[in-house]
Amino acid sequence: MPELPEVETSRRGIAPHIVGETLLHAVVRHPQLRWPVSEEIYQLSDETVLSLERRAKYLLLELKHGWIIIHLGMSGRLRILSEDTPPEKHDHVDLVFSNGKTLRYTDPRRFGAWLWETDLTQSRVLRHLGPEPLSEAFNAEWLIQKSVTKKIAIKPWLMDNKLVVGVGNIYASESLFQAGIHPDRPANGLSHLESERLVASIKAVLQRSIEQGGTTLRDFLQSDGKPGYFTQQLNVYGRAGEPCLHCGTPIMSGRHAQRSTYWCPSCQH
């Protein structure tokens, strides 16, 4: 599943092609994704794109009277193409622009979403989200405040979008490794110093991944069709049995909340 860095990479790649441009119309080839494509999207005509933002793993395309909310789901991707590029089997939604370009949404599993909202504060998919991990609102004090009553293992807790958005499975494992914290540790057992270290690690890992263009896993591609490169820099994720790049101890693996977890038993305590 594309995670926050992949979505941010897509946003940065797409924005220069559509912000300030006129959206002529939408083409919806498959109306049923995770939820039905909002009826308002079918009716769009001659609308100027004011901005393209990101909230968690949602892309927010701003028009004069509202927002298109896009989620890539498990296998979705967005590309900028020439408007005369023929659609293929899994190309479900196009936004056609007056500059001759099309923003095309491809999603083999159809777990993504295209929704319309006039007021983002009222959006059912956005209103319960925690702070952005790269914002000042996500800090050690916030982490400690939220952890007081949490006996859950820290790794799945970090993946709760009500705590902080966008720290998916890959980046939770990588951030805990960089912070030297074992993924089985109870969340309420973190010291203030450990919380500061963990927050700093999360920000650094995500920022580095964004700069590298996202992590290539399975079928993720950037908006220009190129893969991301952060996979080359993973320290623990997907490396079970291989030597730790820092100390040489074999990397361990396990599962938390049905998701794979990776850690170094020597570097993480």
Q: Which residues are the active-site residues?
A: 2-3, 57, 259
Q: What is the dihedral of CA 37, 24, 3, 163, to 10 degrees?
A: -70
Side chain identity at residue 30, one-letter code: H
Phi, psi at 41, each rounded to 5°: -70, -35
Q: How far apart are CA 18 and CA 110, in angstroms?
A: 24
Does residue 168 sit in helix, strand or coil? coil
Q: Which residues contact 172 (CB under 8 A, 6 or more apart)?
A: 155, 156, 158, 159, 183, 261
Q: How far apart are CA 76 and CA 97, in angstroms?
A: 21
